Homo-oligomer: A and B are copies of this chain.
């Protein structure tokens, strides 16, 4: 296969200007290299990630374009044989004409290219280390890219039920009304409901796509995704033109998990992709909040499976419980009823309709008369019992 890679400086600058309007020529050259990596390799390619982290995107790109021996690129983290394999799998895509077409497509849809050194780069993605994305192709407001501490992922089954949709809306509305950005995958079902509820609350939402952002997928959500662009951002690490393959869906899930401080799984079938998002979250030491449902509902089977098998998964029933996992202090809640056992027994032995003597109460409750007297005194202070001439009576007013 013949591969061509055009590194003409003027051409690069021309192609990159619309995607990095605020950058200078150096910035555009760097961003071009990062974008090229996103074009050349599949999401999550560890060898590419390690090479770029070590050398920077531009140097790393130049290095592989020089057709080096694999051994010269091998490092402590990457063996020569791994590098040789990687060079072989990148080779088929070394076609700069195709890459320039992707850049032109991005420009034509007013996309922005965000790279790791940008201030708006979501800090959570850094935790992906060698598996981090090289760029984010963004449509909408790049200012909507969230910091992990203020982002919650709400994900779940495409084949959702009314119950799950209700919960997704409720949770998304709760998060966004408290100022959290809601991250999801733009899919039918739970994802769509989470985005919609956030938009309805005037909140910020981020849709992470598995394919290029030039294709608003799924097509039934084109209108929704355009609304997300208007109020937030639609993004992908895959360059324009890239198809939403199954592999990219699985890898897309790692971005959702990494971007958010907590991932909430609302409904998930037994083999749902949301379980994969949860696995990514666990690998990143991020908490996973899981909403249970009826055991008779297949749409909750994956949630229950997560709760049974994933140590990072915590059952949640409210927005506050999910945010607790982010470290937010929850509202104080009452504990289990901790009534004094003797008090329970004395109250049992009393009647509200007739009075009883201490001796009678002692016999009925199986407590000593002295204990009964002491307990009655305390209960009287609480307004739970009253003393009359005939003896003691229970007050049931509350």
Task: Determine which of B1, B245, B307, B317 lies in contact with A349 in the assembled complex, contact meaning CB atoms within 8 Å.
Answer: B245
Given contacts A92-B369, A307-B315, contact A348 B296 (CB under 8 A): no
* Residues in chain B near residue A163, CB distance under 8 A: 294, 296
* Residues in chain B near residue A317, CB distance under 8 A: 295, 301, 304, 308
SS class, residues of chain A in contact with chain B: helix
Does A88 lie within 8 Å of B369, measured CB to CB? yes
**A369 CA to B366 CA, complexed, in Å:** 85
Say yes or no: is A207 at the interface (Cβ < 8 Å to chain B): no
Find residues 233-283 in chain A having any chain B CB closer than 8 Å to their own CB: 243, 245-248, 250, 271, 275, 279
Given contacts A42-B345, A292-B293, A345-B42, contact A93 B275 (CB under 8 A): no
A83 to chain B: closest CB distance in Å?
12
**A279 CA to B335 CA, complexed, in Å:** 13
Find residues 17-64 in chain A having any chain B CB closer than 8 Å to their own CB: 40-42, 45
* Residues in chain B near residue A308, CB distance under 8 A: 314-315, 317, 321
Say yes or no: is A367 at the interface (Cβ < 8 Å to chain B): yes
* Residues in chain B near residue A314, CB distance under 8 A: 308
A169 to chain B: closest CB distance in Å?
12
**A166 CA to B315 CA, complexed, in Å:** 23
Does A292 lie within 8 Å of B275, measured CB to CB? no
Say yes or no: is A149 at the interface (Cβ < 8 Å to chain B): no
**A315 CA to B341 CA, complexed, in Å:** 30
Task: Determine which of B85, B92, B348, B368 lies in contact with A85 in the assembled complex, contact meaning CB atoms within 8 Å.
Answer: B368
**A347 CA to B245 CA, complexed, in Å:** 9
Does A348 lie within 8 Å of B245, measured CB to CB? yes
Find residues 333-374 in chain A having any chain B CB closer than 8 Å to their own CB: 336-337, 341, 344-345, 347-349, 359, 362-363, 365-371
Known: A45-B366, A92-B362. 11 other contacts (CB 8 A): A42-B365, A90-B366, A91-B368, A93-B363, A245-B345, A275-B336, A292-B300, A292-B315, A308-B314, A308-B317, A308-B321
Which residues of chain A have a CB within 8 Å of any CB of chain B?
A: 1, 40-42, 45, 85, 88-93, 163, 166-167, 243, 245-248, 250, 271, 275, 279, 291-296, 300-301, 304, 307-308, 314-315, 317-318, 321, 336-337, 341, 344-345, 347-349, 359, 362-363, 365-371
- The contact sample of 10 A-B pairs, CB cut-off 8 A, is A41-B366, A42-B366, A89-B362, A93-B363, A243-B348, A271-B336, A291-B295, A293-B295, A304-B315, A307-B307
